[in-house]
Amino acid sequence: MINMEGKIFVYSWYSKIVDRDAIGAELQNILVRSGLHILDTVEHDFVPQGYTKIFLLAESHLAVHTFPEKGVSWIELASCSEEKFNSFVRLIADSFLFNKEFTTLRLEPNA
């Protein structure tokens, strides 16, 4: 029997970018460059606004949800590979999607 310890590493933040095509392309590029393996994607455009895209990864998932009415997107990576997770975090820090001033922003109903 193989002894495996279950661990998950999670990184999430708000981005000022809400353009669905720009977000999808940049995240895919960074996922590939960090060594994470994309198995599939699912995306949905909401009416009257908003977009969600989920990347199913061999190592877990990445989800992005846009909130055009707030001018932000929520992006979250979950990974069971610490090495690939750390690589993603280093690469995203240099991306136009990352904005450290929005890492603690909370969206409140009716705000």
User: Would you state the pLDDT for residue 98?
Assistant: 76
User: Would you state the pLDDT for residue 2?
Assistant: 63
Separation CA 54–CA 111 (nearest Å): 26
34 is catalytic: no
User: Would you state the pLDDT for residue 32?
Assistant: 98
H or E element: which one contains 60?
A: strand 60-67
Give me the tens of pLDDT residue by residue for the chain, a chain 111 residues long: 666 677 888 888 889 899 999 999 999 999 999 999 999 999 999 999 999 999 999 999 999 999 999 999 999 999 999 899 999 989 988 888 876 554 433 334 444
Residues 6+ apart with CB under 8 A from 45: 20, 51
pTM: 0.84
37 is catalytic: no
The residue from 12, 34, 44, 60 that is catalytic is: 60
Q: What are phi and psi of 27, to 5 degrees?
A: -65, -40
The residue from 12, 15, 37, 65 that is catalytic is: 65
Domains of the chain, CATH where assigned: 13-92 (3.60.90.10)
73 is catalytic: no
Separation CA 26–CA 45 (nearest Å): 18
